[in-house]
Structure 1
Amino acid sequence: MKLTSLRIITKDIKPCVEFYEKAIGLTAQWFTEDFAELSTGTITIAIGSVRTMKLFGDNLTESAGTKNTIIEFRVANVDEEYERIKQITTDIIQEPTTMPWGNRSLLFSDPDGNLINFFTPVSVEAIEKFS
């Protein structure tokens, strides 16, 4: 089994897609007006409008950001990314902080309230883990 995609469901797809394009520096491929994808090479971030959920069944049209899941991206320099990210959002949850497990992390949220973590391994153990 291989995890290939993470899908975000949103009430307002265009601003959400634009946010992710700016945050991760990729251009989305639009398949319909209700569905787009950004491929990082290792995983695809799919973004669908709430209307796409009707295809999976009734009563699946809610979209609410969640604080119990974090979308994580390893970046080359989290402090440099922080300077860039704060230009596109004010929803910074935690400025770059070195965590006990050896990653330096920046936590912010997308327009729907989904948590995003940009991190850079900085301890010897964390660097070894990701190399």
Structure 2
Amino acid sequence: MNFVSTRIITAQVSKLIAFYEQVTRITAIRFTEDFAELQSPGATLAIGSTRTLQFFGGPEVAKAAANRTAIIEFITSDVDEIFREQAAFLAPYLVQEPTTMPWGNRSLLFRDPDGNLVNFFTPVSAEAIRKFEGKV
């Protein structure tokens, strides 16, 4: 088995696509007006409209903009550089400026327009660098 994707359900597909394209510099592939993907070598971030819930059992299966348990994480070679470049854009969404965590990653935390928590991180300790070798 191989983990390949996380999907965000939203009532604001275009807004979330624009947000994630801005912060990741990845161009989304829009398959329909209700579904798009931002594909990276390691995994895909899918963005689906609340209208797609009909294919998964109905509107009660998931609630848009209601996540308070998951963190969407992206590894990057220099989180401080991303913060410098994106600080003005991220200002209204910022949770925490780049901070070195006890487990060896330097993390930038912010929320997307739906309130989902996003972590851009760079491994900085020797152990974290080894752990993520080849992933950046």
Fold shared by both chains (TM-score > 0.5): yes
Other-structure match for 1:66: 67
Q: Structure 2 CA distance, aligned partners of 1:67 and 1:84?
A: 27
Runs of 4+ in structure 1 off by over 4 angstroms are: none
State percent identity of aligned pairs: 53
- Tell me what 2:40 maps to: 40
Of 38-47 and 51-60, the range deviating more from structure 2: 51-60
- Determine helix, strand or coil for the equivalent of 1:30: strand
Q: Does 1:6 align with 2:14?
A: no
Query: Structure 1: which 5+ residue stretches go unaligned?
Result: none
How many residues are paired up?
131
Point out the structure with the larger helix share: 2
Alignment of 1:95-110 (within 5 A): 95-110=97-112
Specify every segment of 5 or more residues in structure 2 that has no aligned partner in the other structure, as ranges: none
Change (3 A) 1:83 1:65: farther
8 Å contact 1:10–1:48 — kept in the other structure? yes
- The amino acid across from 2:42 in the alignment is T
Q: Cα gap change, 1:121/1:61 in structure 2, threshold over 3 Å: closer, same or farther?
A: closer
Shift of residue 128, structure 1, vs aligned partner: 1.4
Deviation at 1:77, TM superposition (A): 0.7
| Contact 1:54 1:61 (8 Å CA) reproduced | no
